Structure 1
Amino acid sequence: MQLDIAARFAGAVVAASLLAAAPALAQDTAPFQLAQAAAPKAPEPSAEQMKLANELLVANGEASSFDAVIPNVVDQTAASFVQSNPDLIRDLREVAKQLSTQYESRRNEIVQILAKIYATEFTTQELRDLLAFYRSEAGKKLVLKREDLLKAGFSSIQAWSAGFAREMEVRVREEMKKRGFTI
């Protein structure tokens, strides 16, 4: 199954953002703890909901969309040492490769985090319905075509954005001209 480019990118961005924000979050956890204490706790999902959520993540392709998170975090961490130790780049790359292999088994932790979110947000019946869809021919087709659909969508949106930007440039110039400015 092809990996979902957008989800891989999003996963890498989320992981990098969390790593970058960790020191700041550690320094200022009191407001978060207060907000968390005030928020009602969602009930723990049942074992059946967790099982169905895990099956859904495999069926819809999301389980494999986070395959790049661990290697990306390891690579980014090793690369952060290159700036202060540029002579060690080869060794740091080798260490990153070694550690990526060692920590690959922890990928399931990521899937379990997502499974718990799905199991908490959807009822057992909703999970069954979603799973039925992703196991149907239309659902399987969506999973197989998702990467191509996203690529085509991103490309089309970029082309639209470029045209819209040109249109806005003309309109801004017109409006500024009405105010006596030529730009």
Structure 2
Amino acid sequence: MLDIAGRLTGAALALALLAGAAPVLAQEQAPFNMAQAKPGAEPSAEQMKLANELLIANGEASSFDAIIPNVIEQAAASFVQANPDLIRDLREVAKQLVPQYEGRRSEVVQILARTYAAQFSAAELQELLVFYRSPVGRKLVEKRQELLDAGLRGIQAWSAGFSREMEAKVREEMKKRGFTI
């Protein structure tokens, strides 16, 4: 369960980055400085090393593989509304920029690694690594998307049923008040 929550947190982080990064990316800026990430006690080098290993072992590092192309495409698309005739050129420019900035994905991974390193001791990170390197941990990583997809389908089905149940309850309560809906 900790992993699913972490995965969802990673997804939320990716969405937040995508939402806010387009205007920033449109400007030439220096790479992210890790000192900007979080004030306070710095995680040790060992914690950072273990956190990076954990992100590889649990598959979260690869969950950001598409972030650079997505942010660049979003930045280019932000100009389409004002210049719809330029859509083809904007797409070409976006594709051209991706290889130049692909290396910056590591900045996102380092932000996440720092987050883990700040929350877990070196010993705890080592325990997590032991789990994710175990057969059951590897199985969890391999089946993660399948599990999330099946879980979401189940939640959607439950939600639809619950919604119908609540509609009937609202009708029933409104009928008690003299309204037929």
Same fold, TM exceeding 0.5? yes
Unpaired segments of 5 or more residues in structure 2?
1-6, 25-37
Distance 1:65 1:136 in 2: 20
Residue 89 (structure 1) shift: 0.8
Superposition deviation, residue 8 in structure 1? 7.8
1:20 Cα deviation from its structure 2 partner: 7.5
2:15 to 13, 34, 40: 13
Higher relative contact order (CA 8 A, sep 6+): 1
Cα deviation for residue 132 of structure 1 reads 0.4
Among 122, 136, 142, the alignment partner of 1:138 is 136
What's the CA shift string for 1:144-177, capped at 9, x where partnerless? 0000001111111111111111000000000111
Count of paired positions: 162
* C-alpha separation in 1, matches of 2:56 and 2:161: 39
Q: List aligned pairs for 1:17-32, cutoff 5 A.
A: 17-19=19-21
Cα distance, 1:67–1:153 mapped onto 2, change above 3 Å: same
- 1:17: how far off? 2.9
Match of 1:52 among 46, 50, 53: 50
8 Å CA contact 2:59–2:141 kept in 1: the answer is: yes
Partner of 2:85: 87
Deviation at residue 103 of structure 1 after TM alignment: 0.6
RMSD: 2.2
Taking only the aligned residue pairs, the percentage that are identical comes to 67
| Contact kept in structure 1, 2:22 and 2:72, CA below 8 Å | no
Question: Which residue of structure 2 aligns with residue 182 of structure 1?
Answer: 180
Aligned counterpart, 2:146: 148
CA deviation profile, 1:60-113 (whole Å, cap 9, x unmatched): 000000111111111011011111111111110011011112110000000000
Give the TM-score normalised by structure 2. 0.83
User: What TM-score do you get using the length of structure 1 for normalisation?
Assistant: 0.82
